[in-house]
Structure 1
Amino acid sequence: MNYTLHQLQVFLMISKTKSVTKAAEELHLSQPAVSIQLKNLQDQFAIPLTEVVGRKLFITDFGKEIAIAAERILSEVYAINHKTAAFKGQLVGQLKISVVSTGKYVIPYFLNDFMSQHDGIELKLDVTNKVKVVESLEQNDVDFSLVSVLPDHLQIEKVELMPNKLFLVGNSLQTFPKKLYDTSVLETLPLIYREQGSGTRHVMEKFVQANMLPIHKKMELTSNEAVKQAVLAGLGYSVMPLIGLKNELSMGDVQIIPVKGFPIQSIWHLIWMKGKNFSPVAKAFLEFIHQEKDRIIQEKFDWCNKY
């Protein structure tokens, strides 16, 4: 047997994704490269590892056993690498964070210096909607989650990072001459919503319900970037986090419409499950956040205070 660790890594990812294409994406390899590694591994066994039925890839029972063994082998290799680095005084391991989609404008600034200081850390960052972020936390798939709406059904601990201001915005073509509009202006504008499960939508709907506004929902889109592009194109208006509009506001492509009760404000929190047993990497990151968050906010987000 002459199989390599790389072949085992590739096969393990194929067994997890049930797809050569998806495995290639996860491993940042080309599809042909993954196919070659699978073939080279398969050539060393007389029993098939995979089979294709109706153009769909399946892992055979034998393949599943090999995948289990591969995961165990790779885990041991990973542990050896960590122990070697640890003896050299390096902080090593994985830092796993799930982030709500708008949080992608926030979390990189809290990670940059920490990652620069520790070359041995591998970052796994999942950017998705609020429902999936909370699921990943509940299932213990991540060390931390970044949210602007706290889950009310989990026992969590948290660190408050910074305010999350949401404004009513539109493109720059229509004028809004009043200094302040009543909330009834929302009844006259075609509004663009985020999808169900979005934290931004949750905050927006709470405001609408609290003010008993009959709203004309123009459309529903599945990401903050999609909403922003629709607003820029003049398809409607939306309640959006300020944090994702820095460039558009500075260029004059979007405008904040002054409405009574705005900005709606929530708080960005870094959260984790109560009683979580932190790895050395996760513990070090939390200590870094406590020590450096005020400096980072001042340096990177001071522009938000203008609005």
Structure 2
Amino acid sequence: MNYTLHQLMIFLKITETSSITKAAEELHLTQPAVSIQLRNLQDQFEIPLTEVVGRKLIVTDFGWEIAAAAEKIIEEVQGINYKTAAFKGLMSGKLKISVVSTGKYVMPYFLSGFLKQHPEVDLKLDVTNKAKVLESLSTNEVDFALVSKMPETINVEGIELMPNQLCLVGNKDFELSKKLYDEGVFEEITLIYREEGSGTRLYMERYLNEKKVSVRKKIVLTSNEAVKQAVLAGMGCSIMPLIGIKNELKAGSLKIIPVKDLPIETQWNLIYLKGRKFSPVGKLYLDYLEQHKDELIRENFS
């Protein structure tokens, strides 16, 4: 067997993306280069690693076994690199964080300075919906999770980062005929929802239920960015986190619709499993947040 670490890394990315094209994009390689490395790896096994069904790449059962072994090999190699860096006096290791989709507008500002201070630290940042974030936290796949609602079914601790405000938002053509609307406005507009499992949707539905509002028409979209683009296009209005639309508000392409008992006030929390024993990198990051959190909020979100 003469397979290389490079081939194993490429194959692992192919299994993660189920696509040679996507693997090439994420690895910043050409598609032919990825295909060649996959073929060179396959040539060393008599059993197929992948199959093409229709136009879809399928990883075989044997392929998944090889991928699991490759992941362990790569982790061991990374461990050697971390030990080497530590011996030279550099803090190194991997920091794994899962973030709800709206949190992508928040989390980078609390990471940038830390990563500049510790360039040997590797970051894995997964952006997904609330349900998947909590799943990855509960199964110990990540060190931290960023959420705007504390989970009720998982025993966690955390750090409060900053407030999160949810307002009703329309595009530039929405005519503000009142200084303050009551909840009846929701019966006059098309309301755009996030998908099931979204924290923003949970807060929106809770507000509407408390107000006993009957929504006339609704649209469901699967990301905060999709909701924002739909509102910009005039497809309807939505209750959205201000943090994700600050540029559009400044430019005047979106506007806040003032409604009684809005905005909804929530809190961004960086959480972790209670009693978790952190790696040196995880502990160092917690210390960094405690020291710099207020300064970072003033600089980036005031």
Asked if TM exceeds 0.5, the reply is yes
Cα 1:2/1:103, change in 2 over 3 Å: same
Task: Quote the Cα distance in structure 1 between the aligned partners of 2:173 and 2:52.
Answer: 55
1:202-223 superposed Cα distances (whole Å, 9 cap, x missing partner): 0011111111111123211111
Q: Which runs of 5+ in 2 are unaligned?
A: none
Look up the match of 1:245. Answer: 245
Look up the match of 2:217. Answer: 217
- SS of 1:167's partner is strand
Amino acid at match of 1:262: L
Task: Quote the Cα distance in structure 1 between the aligned partners of 2:45 and 2:102.
Answer: 50
Task: Quote the Cα distance in structure 1 between the aligned partners of 2:36 and 2:79.
Answer: 27
Paired residues for 1:60-75 under 5 Å:
61=62, 66-75=66-75
What is the percentage of aligned positions where both structures have the same residue? Answer: 59
- SS of 1:98's partner is strand
Q: Which runs of 5+ in 1 are unaligned?
A: 303-307
Amino acid at match of 1:246: K
Task: Quote the Cα distance in structure 2 between the aligned partners of 1:300 and 1:15.
Answer: 37
Amino acid at match of 1:220: V
Instruction: Answer yes or no: is the 8 Å Cα contact 1:167–1:264 preserved in 2.
Output: yes
1:12-43 superposed Cα distances (whole Å, 9 cap, x missing partner): 34455554344434434332212211222334
Shift of 1:91: 1.1
Task: Quote the Cα distance in structure 2 between the aligned partners of 1:101 and 1:154.
Answer: 20
Paired residues for 1:197-216 under 5 Å:
197-216=197-216
Task: Quote the Cα distance in structure 2 between the aligned partners of 1:65 and 1:129.
Answer: 28
1:241-274 superposed Cα distances (whole Å, 9 cap, x missing partner): 1111111111111111111101111100001111
Whether 2:46 is the aligned partner of 1:47: answer yes
- SS of 1:209's partner is helix
Deviates more, 1:99-108 or 1:171-180: 171-180
Shift of 1:68: 4.8
User: Hey, which bits of structure 1, 4+ residues long, moved more than 6 A?
Assistant: none
- SS of 2:111's partner is helix
- SS of 1:36's partner is helix
Cα 1:66/1:171, change in 2 over 3 Å: closer
Amino acid at match of 1:54: V
Cα 1:171/1:287, change in 2 over 3 Å: same
Whether 2:159 is the aligned partner of 1:159: answer yes
Whether 2:67 is the aligned partner of 1:59: answer no
Cα 1:217/1:288, change in 2 over 3 Å: farther
Whether 2:108 is the aligned partner of 1:108: answer yes
1:246-303 superposed Cα distances (whole Å, 9 cap, x missing partner): 111111111111111011111000011112121111111111111111001111100x
Look up the match of 1:305. Answer: none
What TM-score does the superposition give when structure 2 sets the normalisation length? 0.92
Task: Quote the Cα distance in structure 1 between the aligned partners of 2:70 and 2:226.
Answer: 40
Look up the match of 1:233. Answer: 233
Paired residues for 1:31-46 under 5 Å:
31-43=31-43, 45=44
Whether 2:283 is the aligned partner of 1:286: answer no
Amino acid at match of 1:48: I
Task: Quote the Cα distance in structure 1 between the aligned partners of 2:65 and 2:188.
Answer: 61
Amino acid at match of 1:150: M
Task: Quote the Cα distance in structure 1 between the aligned partners of 2:30 and 2:185.
Answer: 51
Shift of 1:117: 0.7
Amino acid at match of 1:59: T
Shift of 1:49: 4.5
Task: Quote the Cα distance in structure 1 between the aligned partners of 2:235 and 2:16.
Answer: 40
RMSD: 2.0
Number of positions where the alignment pairs a residue of Structure 1 with one of Structure 2? 300
